[in-house]
Amino acid sequence: MSARSAVLSALLGSHPPRLSARHLVRIGALFGIAEGTVRVALSRMVAAGDLLPADGQYTLSERLVERQARQDESRDPHTRPWDGTWEVAVVTAERRAPADRAAFRHTMSALRLAELREGTWLRPANLVRTLPEIVTAQCTLIDGRPRRDPTPLLWDLDGWAAEAGALERALDRAEGLAEGFLVSAAVLRHLLADPLLPEELLPAGWPGARLRARYDDFDRRYREVLQRHLRG
């Protein structure tokens, strides 16, 4: 755990995403990170536009607040009944700069669309959300129904489920603040990778809802212990 990773994980898990330098130093100490190292990381993150300082406290930048919102959404997803329709986004824009292409791919992944082939992205239309301009300006959007289920081509559901099972066991075994912090960060990263498919497309025994419930219980208990540590 680097100083930067410790700071980001702590702030992404805080609501509101604001912590004092003293508290961030205490979190770094859980991993043997020296106070000076944490403070240097804070200065660099401010310079990079990741953090906003004010009155001895640090807040996530707007870009990272959006990441926190995606993280929160992954814990409590907004879905709707699925009628079999798929969202299809076909890239029709031309002459995109490499940076624009990278930003577009990041956005599509964050929206939980998967790329079937170069420039063709899709997913079941079961999420409640609005596509941002970066997508609508570069794509032709289509609602359709594939004749054959493309789910196995788009997502490794067996791999996601296996990792979810390992994380459930890790939550049960986690001892101490440092280990709990690492396991918590790992679960949140994994939930961000959940494609949030409708039940009709998921294999039997899908562990998504179970992992969320287990994590919510773990997080409540862990936050209480962490807050006592930070106040100590």
The predicted-structure confidence for 28-41, as pLDDT tens digits, reads as follows 999 999 999 999 99
Mean pLDDT of 123-132: 96
pLDDT given at position 231: 86
Measure the CA–CA gap between 34 and 25, rounded to whole angstroms. Answer: 8
pLDDT given at position 153: 96
Calculate the average pLDDT of the chain. Answer: 95
- The residue with tokens 């669309």 is 113
- Residue closest to 137 by CA, chosen among 169, 100, 98, 177: 100
Confidence of residue 206 (pLDDT cuts 50, 70, 90): very high
pLDDT given at position 136: 95
CB-side neighbour CA atoms (13 Å) of 77 = 21
CB-CB neighbours of 148 under 10 Å: 7
Query: Could you give the 3-state DSSP secondary structure of residue 52?
Result: strand
Tell me 203's DSSP state.
P
Confidence of residue 17 (pLDDT cuts 50, 70, 90): very high
Measure the CA–CA gap between 182 and 190, rounded to whole angstroms. Answer: 12
- Kindly tell me if the per-residue pLDDT of 232 is higher than 80: no
